C-alpha cells in the first residue's frame, strides 16, 4: 500500500512511540504512577510517548497545532491544521498488564479529519486511513462487517466507571442493547473499538463521556471502511457531546433506535 507523505509522518511517530510503550509495558509493575482523577491514571510511559509523538510530528510538519491528552491545546502558526493525539488510549489496561491499548493520531484540516493512525504495539497492529483513500490494517484493506440484524451482532461498548459517566442512563442502554444482540464486548480503548468496527471484528460500538483524542482517528477509520459514525442523536457532534455510535449503515441505524428505547421488563 502506497502511503502519502503526511501519513508516513504519522506512522513513523506512532511506531516510535509504540517501541517506547512496548519497553515500558514489559516493566509495567515498576512504573511510577500518579493520580489524575478517579480511576484515571497517567504514567511515565504515557507522558514519554506523548513527548515522542509531539517531537516527531512537529519535526515532520512544523507549525501545525496540537490537541493532546496530556498537554492539551498547543498553538501553531498554521491555523488550518491540527494534530489530535492520544499517546496511550487504554491506560488502565496498560497498567494492569492487559495488552489492549493503542496510540491514536489524527490530522484535522479546516475542521475535517483527513488522516488517522491507530497502533496497538502489543499486537503490532497498525490501522491507517486517509480521507477518500480507504482504511487499512497492516496494509490489508478494511471493510465493516455486513451483518444486518442485531441478533447476529457483537457490539462493543465503553462501561462508565468510578467518577465517569452517568451510570443509571448507561444501565438502561445496556439492558436494551443486550436484549437484542448476540454479544457485547468492552475492550477498554475506544480507539481500538472503532478500529475493530472498521475491520469487521465488531459489528458496532457505542460509548459516551469521550474526548476528541479518543475518537478522532477512529471516526475516519470507520467511515473509510464503509461504516457510519454519529453522536447518539444521529448528528455529527461527537467532539462536543462526547458520545459516539458506529456500525454499518443498517446496524448504526438499529443501534441508535435501540439506545433510545425505554427500559422494558424481560
The annotation status of 69 as a binding-site residue, yes or no, is: yes
Measuring CA to CA, how many Å separate 74 from each of 65, 70, 77, 79, 109?
6, 11, 10, 11, 16
Rounded distance, CA 159 to CA 9, Å? Answer: 33
The annotation status of 214 as a binding-site residue, yes or no, is: yes
Measuring CA to CA, how many Å separate 16 from each of 50, 51, 93, 180?
11, 11, 20, 42
Count the Cβ atoms, other than its own, within 10 Å of residue 100: 16
157: Cβ contacts below 8 Å, ≥ 6 apart: 174, 177, 184, 185, 186, 205, 206, 207
Rounded distance, CA 58 to CA 66, Å? Answer: 9
Instruction: Enter the C-alpha cell of residue 243.
Output: 458520545
According to DSSP, residue 172 is labeled H
Which residues participate in the annotated binding site?
Answer: 69, 86, 88-89, 214
Which residues participate in the annotated binding site for Mg(2+)?
Answer: 69, 86, 88-89, 214
Amino acid at each position: 500500500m502506497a502511503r502519502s507523505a503526511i501519513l508516513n509522518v504519522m506512522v513513523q511517530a506512532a511506531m516510535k512511540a509504540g517501541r517506547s510503550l512496548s519497553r515500558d509495558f514489559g516493566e509495567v509493575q515498576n512504573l511510577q504512577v500518579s493520580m489524575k482523577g478517579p480511576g484515571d491514571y497517567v504514567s511515565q510511559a504515557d507522558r514519554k510517548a506523548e513527548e515522542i509523538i509531539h517531537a516527531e510530528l512537529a519535526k515532520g510538519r512544523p507549525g501545525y497545532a496540537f490537541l493532546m491528552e496530556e498537554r492539551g491545546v498547543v498553538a501553531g502558526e498554521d491555523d488550518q491544521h491540527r494534530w489530535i493525539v492520544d499517546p496511550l488510549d487504554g491506560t488502565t489496561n496498560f497498567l494492569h498488564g492487559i495488552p489492549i491499548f493503542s496510540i491514536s493520531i489524527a490530522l484535522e484540516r479546516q475542521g475535517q479529519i483527513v488522516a488517522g493512525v491507530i497502533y496497538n504495539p502489543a499486537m503490532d497492529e497498525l490501522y491507517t486511513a486517509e480521507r477518500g483513500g480507504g482504511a487499512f490494517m497492516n496494509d490489508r484493506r478494511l471493510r465493516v462487517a455486513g451483518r444486518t440484524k442485531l441478533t447476529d451482532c457483537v457490539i462493543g461498548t465503553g462501561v462508565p466507571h468510578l467518577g465517569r459517566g452517568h451510570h443509571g442512563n448507561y444501565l438502561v442502554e445496556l439492558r436494551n442493547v443486550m436484549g437484542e444482540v448476540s454479544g457485547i464486548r468492552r475492550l477498554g480503548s475506544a480507539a481500538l473499538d472503532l478500529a475493530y468496527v472498521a475491520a469487521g471484528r465488531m459489528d458496532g460500538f457505542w460509548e459516551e463521556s469521550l474526548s476528541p483524542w479518543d475518537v478522532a482517528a477512529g471516526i475516519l477509520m470507520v467511515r473509510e471502511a464503509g461504516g457510519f459514525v454519529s453522536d447518539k442523536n444521529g448528528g455529527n457532534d461527537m467532539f462536543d457531546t462526547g458520545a459516539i455510535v458506529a456500525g454499518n449503515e443498517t446496524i448504526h441505524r438499529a443501534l441508535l433506535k435501540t439506545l433510545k428505547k425505554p427500559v422494558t421488563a424481560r
